[in-house]
Structure 1
Amino acid sequence: MKMDFLEPYLLEDFKQVISDNEDFLILEYGNNNGKNKLNCVYSARDWIQVVVNSIPSIDLKHKNQDVLSLNMVQFIGAIDLLVESVQQIHRVLNNDKNYPLLKDNTTFRKSISDDDYFSHIRAAFGTHPVNLVSKNGIKSKKRYFASWSSSSGNGIFSVHLYSNDPNEKDEELTIDCKELISYCQKRYEHLTGLINIITKQATQFKSEQSKILITKKETPLEQLYILRAENKKRFGDDGYKCEIEELIELYGAPKKFNFPNVIINNYLDQIRPCIDEIFENLQSMCIVDLMIYPSPRYNYKPNLSKHSYYIQKIYEHIIRSDYWHQRDMIPSFIEVLKENDILPDFVTIDLDKRDLRLILNAILYNEGAKIANV
């Protein structure tokens, strides 16, 4: 009997659609009516992966009867885990429990749904075999007790059901693993439908947002405040959040220093197109790499790269909170950069971090560091 019956590519496609649309999913389901429903999707996705990768290792031909019986419990439990995971994802994405196979009974061909009958199989073959309320999947007032499961070969397993009614005869419950596999495959293949749901929802959201025009402002700082709010609405804590925050610090720096304006203004003029690009990309709901980034890349310039350790530590001081464990070392790092004419003499650790970032960025750009993404 072939145990690798769950095609891994389908799971990979599902994981990819989550990754491709994670900004939307976080925004839509990360806090949905006060509940983080996306965590349910993440959990279900991960457990589906466990099942897909592990079911082929379950040995349903083991020679030891006790081991075989427990392996059957594991096999049924794995299927149950996958089915519940698919159902949970469907519930989150559709805000209901009525997934398409809810009333399907084409696999086991019983008077009750396949899901209900599988629950009976699961109970009898190991979930709670010593406390059953049914012998056929339909709830009864009687109690039933199952034997261990045994195999007659070719994937056929059975248990004997004993009743607490002295007048009721024992009954054999048989299941063909081919039916269990078919039941599992049908629910696993519903991932295709879930992929389509995520794609459709994300596409619709992007279409709706792109039709909402972003307000245009004249000054860079005013525009950046608008973009920060729009980025939050459209992409939550992702999108261009970091770039916008950096630009706000640069254009909002108090400039309480005596330094050649030409170097500062030239740098700010050069990164101005970054604001326009973010504007256009947010308007079209398209998050791609920017052509210009506000942080200069300096490692390829020999005169700057040899001081990259100290430059990086200064940036970490700017970005991180004051409790950073290396804060006491910052004055010495600043002195090294001053001694090598990278920072001006007036710079100290007490300088406003926004001004320090602006000065360092402007000087690095003036010394040949790149801001263009080429």
Structure 2
Amino acid sequence: MINFNIIQDFRDQVNANSHYTWYAYQNKNGKNYWNIICACMDWIDVGLECMDGFSFDRKKLGARGLEVFTYISAIDIVWESIQQLHRAIINENEVPFSGEKEVFINDVLHKDDNAYFKHIRAVFGAHPVNLSKDKNNDKWFASWPTTGIHEKYDVALYLYNVDPSKDDIIFGFKFAELNEFFTKRYNHLSYLAKKLEEQYQDYKSSLILNKIRPTTNIEDQLDILEEELNKRLSNDYFEHLVDQIKRIYKATVTNENNRETIEDYRGKVKRVVEELTIKIQNVDYTDLEMDHIVYSNHPQEIHYELSKLFECLYGHRKDEAYDYYIERVSKFLNPYVQIDKTMSADEIFLLLHVGLYNYWDSV
């Protein structure tokens, strides 16, 4: 039974922490390790899906020899992918479990587990009649796989030497050992996920020590926060919130009847900026407690018109019904702000936020 949670947990870690892994690995020492990480995760999924549900029938080995090879190849795909992940995340010159001889106890070739597995893959289907020469420069060829030629193995074959004076070798494996080899290496993903989290925490600690420059000018503060977000981890929610607030402060007030209400609202938005500054300083990209001041729900009565109006104000589309949307929304929000279709897009944008906040504050 394949534990798919291990690869899913690794994927979750890769995508966690405001996509730190993408930020750190999309250009590391001039190489795009992010692409490597994505490719490896995808191929691990392919290998696991192939392995899941595999069963072995001794009576049909001749006919199903390639199915055994497919199972071995699926393990190899997963293992190769994990090696690449290890190189990308830990050390590009290091292969995990090198030198270990803990799994294949009947190792007639005196190889470590990694090398023994590669030999299993080669002789059981990858290139059984074109095997590499051994350390003694001997050339070997594999027979077809069978059962019962040696009790130490579930599946075995003969390795024939091209030198007629040399004896054949019985070579094989047990499925229990093969699965142990796979499990140990597959579980290495949990270690790699832990290392990604440690790397993120180290990076986060370094950012926290880098204090954000304070200023009493709210618009300057927003520019500073925008710069800090570019230096730190990208976060769509925080970046959009900063853009929204900058536009709220950017607008020029043309109707003096709205000024007092606007200034009161902007004073509340300033508290959002203060919370934003603290969170960015601490690299805490969880939602703000006070973002409701900027992000208001749309009242049901004008939900459609508001949605269309905001699309126009964001510049996503032009709409011939723009004046109609303004008329409907301004009438609904008239107890709180006065909106006129001749106002600039920035001023209408501001007044919508002011009006919506005061509407919900009054109900």
Range class of TM-score, shorter chain: 0.7 to 0.9
Partner of 1:313: 308
Q: In 2, are the aligned partners of 1:65 and 1:150 still within 8 Å (CA)?
A: yes
CA change 1:175–1:338 in 2 (3 A) is same
- Which residue identity is paired with 1:356? I
- Which residue identity is paired with 2:115? D
Q: In 2, are the aligned partners of 1:147 and 1:161 still within 8 Å (CA)?
A: yes
1:142-186 Cα deviation digits (max 9, x unpaired): 654433323349971123334555665554321122221121122
Identity %: 26
Q: How does 1:120-131 map to 2 (within 5 A)?
A: 120-131=119-130
Cα distance between partner residues in 2 of 1:37 and 1:344: 54
Partner of 1:44: 40
CA shift, 1:120, in A, is 1.5
Partner of 2:154: 156
CA shift, 1:329, in A, is 4.8
Partner of 1:17: 13
Alignment partner of 1:266 out of 261, 264, 267: 264
CA RMSD across the alignment: 3.0
Q: Secondary structure at the match of 1:15?
A: helix
Q: Are 2:224 and 1:245 equivalent residues in the alignment?
A: no
Gaps of 5+ in 2: none
Partner of 1:215: 213
Gaps of 5+ in 1: none
CA change 1:22–1:365 in 2 (3 A) is closer
- Which residue identity is paired with 1:297? S
CA change 1:118–1:258 in 2 (3 A) is same
CA change 1:73–1:338 in 2 (3 A) is same
Q: In 2, are the aligned partners of 1:298 and 1:369 still within 8 Å (CA)?
A: no
Partner of 1:206: 204
CA change 1:369–1:30 in 2 (3 A) is farther
Cα distance between partner residues in 2 of 1:100 and 1:77: 19
Alignment partner of 1:32 out of 20, 28, 32: 28
Name the stretch that deviates more: 338-347 or 189-198.
338-347
Cα distance between partner residues in 2 of 1:106 and 1:253: 70
Question: Comparing both structures, which one devotes a greater share of its residues to helix?
Answer: 2
CA change 1:276–1:155 in 2 (3 A) is farther
CA change 1:144–1:316 in 2 (3 A) is farther
1:251-305 Cα deviation digits (max 9, x unpaired): 2234567762123222211211110001111112222221112534234xxxx32
CA shift, 1:15, in A, is 3.4
Cα distance between partner residues in 2 of 1:73 and 1:126: 6
- Which residue identity is paired with 2:23? L
- Which residue identity is paired with 2:130? N
Cα distance between partner residues in 1 of 2:288 and 2:169: 70
Cα distance between partner residues in 2 of 1:91 and 1:257: 62
Name the stretch that deviates more: 198-207 or 143-152.
143-152
- Which residue identity is paired with 1:17? Q
CA shift, 1:9, in A, is 4.3
Partner of 2:290: 292
Q: In 2, are the aligned partners of 1:249 and 1:354 still within 8 Å (CA)?
A: yes
Q: Are 2:190 and 1:192 equivalent residues in the alignment?
A: yes
CA change 1:126–1:139 in 2 (3 A) is farther
Count of residues in correspondence between the two structures: 354
Cα distance between partner residues in 1 of 2:30 and 2:344: 38
CA change 1:238–1:67 in 2 (3 A) is farther
CA shift, 1:30, in A, is 2.5
Q: In 1, are the aligned partners of 2:253 and 2:259 still within 8 Å (CA)?
A: no
Cα distance between partner residues in 1 of 2:345 and 2:188: 52
Q: Secondary structure at the match of 1:101?
A: coil
Cα distance between partner residues in 2 of 1:345 and 1:252: 17
Name the stretch that deviates more: 213-222 or 19-28.
19-28
